[in-house]
Structure 1
Amino acid sequence: MDDVFVGSLMTSPVTTVPADTPAKAAAALMLEEGISSVVVTDDDNQPVGILTSTDFVAIAAAERAAGAFSVADHMTTDVVTTTAQASIVDVADLLIEHGIHHVPVVDETEGVVGMVTTTDLTAYLAGAVDAESTRAWT
């Protein structure tokens, strides 16, 4: 498993939004695309935050309307990232260490190039995904 790389399991392209996107629009986009997070990027496609379905649970728990806020008001700004060449063991350690479920995959020149999630790792371990057939970034 040490020789399986993030690039072979990540989802690409990843859905990104600018920080000034209304939270309600981000929620609608996530529902439309059937995803549980969006990466918030700057003009150079570099990650500045991440907004997840867990963030929307926090909004609901606080009884606030998501339509009144932008993505920047709710995103996590301490974004943990990885590269396509990282081992899935290393990214699994990151997920556990930080208690997160989504890790944007970044490239030094291209910015955000993908997303790897706990679901991706689980699918691989369950045999539902063949890493050999998806090695686009390794």
Structure 2
Amino acid sequence: MIEVTVEQMMTEDLITVEPSQSLADAGQTMTEADIKSVVVSDAAERPTGILTSTDFVRMAAEGTEPSERTVAGAMTEDIVTATPETPVRAAADLMIDNTISHLPVVDDDGRLVGIVTTTDVSAYVSRAGELPRQQ
């Protein structure tokens, strides 16, 4: 059986935000791109956090005004990552074990190269029968 890796299913065309951006700007970016998360990265393209639609729901429940806070004040800093060589099954396990829906993918230098989401994993599973088989 062929072992599919994260590299084969990750989204490489990423939209990132900076920690100093306002939450309103980050939310607008997410809305315009029709995405549910943005990775927060530094100048060296290393992920420093992640901001998700769940974070915005939590802030709305708290009554937080997005224009009054920055991404740095709302992002999750302790992020879980994978590498392009990570098997899809291991990536799915990471997502389940850490109760996350978005898994940033980094290279050997820690630079952001992609992201895998639960939607990506679901699409992979639904097409699993179409994958070529090794004999």
CA distance in 2, matches of 1:105, 1:20: 22
Q: What per-residue deviation string (whole Å, max 9, x for no partner) do you get for residues 62-103 of structure 1?
A: 011111100001000001000111000000000000000000
**For residue 51 of structure 2, what is the aligned residue in structure 1?**
51
Q: CA RMSD in A?
A: 1.8
- Structure 1: gaps spanning 5 or more residues: 133-138
CA distance in 1, matches of 2:124, 2:24: 32
Q: What per-residue deviation string (whole Å, max 9, x for no partner) do you get for residues 89-134 of structure 1?
A: 0000000000000000111247111000000000111129x777xx
CA distance in 2, matches of 1:27, 1:118: 20
User: Secondary structure at the residue paired with 1:3?
Assistant: coil
Are residues 61 and 2 of structure 1, via their aligned partners in 2, closer, same or farther at CA, if it must alter by over 3 Å? farther
Q: Which runs of 4+ in 1 moved over 2 A?
A: none
**For residue 29 of structure 2, what is the aligned residue in structure 1?**
29
Are residues 60 and 17 of structure 1, via their aligned partners in 2, closer, same or farther at CA, if it must alter by over 3 Å? same
User: Secondary structure at the residue paired with 1:48?
Assistant: strand
TM-score with structure 2 length normalisation?
Answer: 0.91
Are residues 97 and 65 of structure 1, via their aligned partners in 2, closer, same or farther at CA, if it must alter by over 3 Å? same
Contact 1:2-1:87 at 8 Å conserved across structures? no
Letter in 1 for 2:30: M
Letter in 2 for 1:116: V
User: Secondary structure at the residue paired with 1:99?
Assistant: coil
Identity percentage of aligned residues? 43
**For residue 72 of structure 1, what is the aligned residue in structure 2?**
72
**For residue 94 of structure 1, what is the aligned residue in structure 2?**
94
**For residue 123 of structure 1, what is the aligned residue in structure 2?**
123
User: Secondary structure at the residue paired with 2:104?
Assistant: strand
Higher mean displacement: 72-81 or 103-112: 103-112
Could you say which structure has the larger radius of gyration?
2
TM-score with structure 1 length normalisation?
Answer: 0.89
